[in-house]
A and B are shown apart, each in its own frame.
Chain A
Amino acid sequence: MKRYLFNIIFLMSFIILFSGAFMFYYDDFAKAFSRNALFSEDKSFKIKECQRWTDDIREFNLMIGETAEKIPVLMYHRIIDDSDISDVHFNENNNLLETVVLKSEFEKQMQYLHDEGYAVLNLQEFLSFIKNEFEVPEKSVLITFDDGFKDNFTEAYPVLKSYGFTAVDFIVTGLVSEQKTEYDPREFQYFSLHDIKNSCDVFQFQTHTYNFHQRTEDGKAFLVSKSKEEIKSDLKKSLQNLNNAKIAIAYPYGSYDKEAIEAVKDIGFNVAFTVQGIKAKPSKDIYEVPRIAITSDDSIGDFRQKLEGEH
């Protein structure tokens, strides 16, 4: 009798303690799992309201001879504060990863744009220019970011905002996390919903695919290896996340083929960006607009050269 009583009490107390601990940590587990999961393909970021500014086109009132024939489209990936740089940001040759630009450098570059009186265009203005419907100042530039790293929010956003600049952020929408995240410069972290909502006055969010920023085992980019239908299905998911904001797309890795372009056209994108290191000029071929990558080893002189050089 005593033994049965003990067994029952022993089991019950174990169940109570165990489930108590489980409930206590339940949220943390749920969080960790949703962090690993892709952003739901049927949900949207709900940023329509705060992206309204992206429809505006400014009047520049330019004289003949002051208009741009071609303009540089800058491409950034990550901006990391100098003090946050650690071993994970270096490649095997001990050089800073190309895609990482130091915040101090980024600040200098933005300062330069500001000092030189550059007009930082939004996507609508750029699109009108590239379609030859609109004239922009000779010193015009379009700033873009790829992938949607969290540091774009924590590091680049305040700098851009302080100069009143805007930029296009091509985000892999499936990688956006629903939960708020703690910034950790050592990790590959992407925008959280919170970050997107709190930076949509500066960033114009466009797609970098839903979850096709990947390569197959033999190294082919998904946009090249997957069928047209698969690409279109991925892009549709992404546009669902982005409230159907489908002006532009940047091809992951700058890789694409005929089929990929057809998919992009079918969906109805107006313009698509690649990476070619030359300036963009009005053209009929607006599904292969070149961009200039700004990399970790660019000095301010290199930056100037990329902006103002004849290429």
Chain B
Amino acid sequence: MLLTTLGIYLVFLLFRISYIFIPIFSVKNKKELLISSKEKSISVLVPAYNEEKIILNCLKGIQTLNYTNLEAIVINDGSKDETFNILNDNLNLKPINRLVRDEMLSKSVKGYYQSRHYPYIFVIDKVNGGKADALNAGIDIADKELIITLDADSVLEYNALQAMNLAFDNKQVIAAGGVVQIGQGFRGSYLKPKPIFISKGLIRFQIIQYFTDFYLHKLTQTKMNSITVISGAFGAFRNYALREVGGYRNTVGEDMDMTLRIQSLIKTKYKGFKMILVPEAICFTECPQTFNDLYNQRIRWQKAFIDCIWYYKFSFFRKLGFAPSLFLLVDSLLLGTLNAIMMVFLPLALLLSPQYYMISLGLFTITYILSCYQSIAAIMICKRFGVVYSKGDYSKILLFIPLEIISYRLLGILFVTVGTVLYLKNKEDWKVSRRVGVSYQTYD
């Protein structure tokens, strides 16, 4: 028992230490963004379900992008609110006939439209079928070289597509993830966002978590060729890759599922190709503001994660490559999920065997030091990529980190445990987290 615990802990240490020090020693300070000589053509897909409050904000981001060779396709997935009317009013839509390949078997499409004001913006109006279905409807008409998927609550940073375009200059890159930043953590113009660290604790905790997830975890995974999730909020794919895997599977974790489909495609057909994180390609997303919304979102993520693991249970190491299988099973499942569940039972176990108090305290101390260093590393890497806070904010961050580790971060254990249990109990019950519709940044 003790030996097993310490064995697992050692693996945990190994992963955590590489997540901290691989980025620290490999990321250099950001230089001026290089621009590729040629803009590859890009289709941006934006699935929208009841997004009346925020869809225009998302489109505004697309309209002001520093990129010309693109089309945007908004897929109204049977919204019950005013999403379609708002699109119609603001874009001045006209019905069109577009070449539909109909390879993806999505739910029936009611109509294809094009904006009169912005001819590169298209709208698909369809019966509700879920996010994966909506994306498939988009893929069916997307004929550009690259396809970017973007959540309706996310806004692309000014140079985001330039950065993506540059990354795809490398022919071996088959798909790439962008960095998702939390919109509430920035103020001022979208064109020159200024990071601030003043929001409520629940948001500040998520800001640090996103930094950690993208700038430490995904960056390290890129180095190890083991990307396991390209976030649905902002992902980029070669058009043929999405087609060859047959589009999205209708599941709540459709982004992770797609990532694994492509990992499997790499393993079977495109040996030597890779998926990467593009740290310079940034989008801003709105994170949940209340505990309940956060709870629903994280429970959904965890259910999606377990669902994916279950779906791919026979594929690990066989259809999926060694590195991604290892990261998924060991880092995400064993250390992420099982560890969290163990953390819940640990206090109980301790009550039964008090002779291990000191051992637990020892492991806790080491974990605590590790967590502090991890957060500091995340902030430092951020800085190297140009997210620079004011001196006052840095001192706030330094005060926040040690407290956050033993307060908000413990929520993660709760979410992971509850999410797993709920998934196992009832596989169908998904909740959609509520949109607040408050934007902290402007285009003025």
Contacts and interface: CB of A to CB of B under 8 A. Distances in A.
Interface of A: 3, 6-7, 10-11, 14, 17-18, 21-22, 24-25, 28-29, 31-33, 35-36, 181-182, 184, 186-187
A22 B366 contact: yes
Interface string B351-385: 01111101101100110011001001100100010
Contacts of A18: 366, 369-370
Contacts of B356: 32
Nearest to B384: A3
Given A7-B24, A28-B358, A184-B354, A14 B373 contact: yes
Contacts of A22: 366
Nearest to B359: A32
Nearest to A187: B353
Contacts of A28: 358-359, 362
Contacts of B366: 18, 21-22
Contact of A29 (B28, B359, B373, B376): B359
B14 interface: no
B369 A7 contact: no
A182 B366 CA distance: 25
Report whether over half of chain A's contact residues are helix, strand or loop; otherwise say mixed.
helix
Given A10-B377, A35-B355, 7 more contacts: A7-B24, A14-B369, A18-B370, A21-B369, A24-B362, A28-B362, A29-B6
Interface residues of B, number: 27
Given A18-B369, A186-B352, A29 B29 contact: no
Given A3-B29, A10-B24, A22-B366, A184 B359 contact: no
Report whether over half of chain B's contact residues are helix, strand or loop; otherwise say mixed.
helix
A9 B264 CA distance: 41
A149 to B, nearest CB: 16
- The 10 residue pairs across chains A and B that have the minimum distance between CB atoms: A25-B362, A28-B358, A21-B365, A17-B369, A21-B366, A32-B359, A14-B373, A7-B24, A32-B2, A28-B359
A22 B20 CA distance: 19
Interface of B: 2-3, 6, 20-21, 24-25, 28-29, 352-356, 358-359, 361-362, 365-366, 369-370, 373, 376-377, 380, 384
A22 B359 CA distance: 11
21 contacts: A7-B24, A7-B25, A10-B373, A11-B21, A14-B20, A21-B362, A21-B365, A21-B366, A21-B369, A22-B366, A24-B362, A25-B358, A28-B359, A28-B362, A31-B358, A32-B2, A32-B355, A32-B359, A36-B2, A181-B355, A184-B354
Contacts of B362: 21, 24-25, 28-29
Contacts of B20: 14
B355 A184 contact: yes
Contacts of A29: 6, 359, 362
A294 B359 CA distance: 38
Contacts of B28: 3
Contacts of B384: 3
Contacts of B24: 7, 10-11
Contacts of B355: 32, 35, 181-182, 184, 187
A187 B361 CA distance: 21
Nearest to A6: B380
A22 B373 CA distance: 16
Given A182-B355, A186-B352, A25 B361 contact: yes
Contacts of A35: 355
Contacts of A11: 21, 24
Nearest to B376: A10
Nearest to B367: A21
B378 to A, nearest CB: 12
Contacts of A184: 354-355
Nearest to A18: B369
A14 B366 CA distance: 11
Contacts of B354: 182, 184
Contacts of A33: 2
A11 B23 CA distance: 12
Contacts of A3: 28-29, 384
Nearest to A4: B25
A187 B365 CA distance: 27
A31 B377 CA distance: 34
Nearest to B351: A186
A38 to B, nearest CB: 14
A115 to B, nearest CB: 39
Contacts of B365: 21, 24-25
Nearest to B366: A21
A13 to B, nearest CB: 8
Contacts of B359: 25, 28-29, 32
B153 to A, nearest CB: 35
Nearest to B362: A25
Contacts of B29: 3
Contacts of B361: 25
Contacts of A31: 358
B154 to A, nearest CB: 31
A84 to B, nearest CB: 14
A7 B362 CA distance: 26
Contacts of B380: 6, 10
Contacts of A25: 358-359, 361-362, 365
A11 B370 CA distance: 12
A14 B369 CA distance: 8
A143 B3 CA distance: 39
